[in-house]
Amino acid sequence: MDGPGAKPPFFDIRDEKEGALQRLKDAADTRREERIKRVMAQEGEALLITVGRVLYLSSCILFDGLILVEIPVRMGRTLSAWLLYFALLSVVIGIQRHIYSLWFEVDISQIDFDRPQ
């Protein structure tokens, strides 16, 4: 098969590895750029918004971890109690995320900087 008339392989392993590595690097660069833009956008924020964000997230964690856990504890730690807890927890987290996006979402659309090529 490796003679002079043999066809080259359909996939070149080296090219595939380099292409995959480049795609991973590009994805990581994009995520890093998003994080940097979010930090830069928060620099001009009022202190009240920053403190409000911390207080909101802290209260959500306390509510989810202390208040909602009372459901399975008071219901006798049965399987149905834990299923109810996780169902309510998923709904509550969805509501909390929606409220967070309404009140504290950072607008990064105006921030732009050149990426090195």
pLDDT tens digits, 37-47: 888 877 777 88
What's this model's pTM, rounded to 2 decimal places? 0.63
Q: Where are the domains of the chain?
A: 11-44, 45-105
- Does 107 score more than 80 pLDDT? no
CA 103/CA 117 separation, integer angstroms: 36
Confidence of residue 114 (pLDDT cuts 50, 70, 90): low
Confidence of residue 111 (pLDDT cuts 50, 70, 90): confident
Torsion of CA 24, 38, 104, 101, to 10 degrees: -20
90 or 34, which is more confident: 90
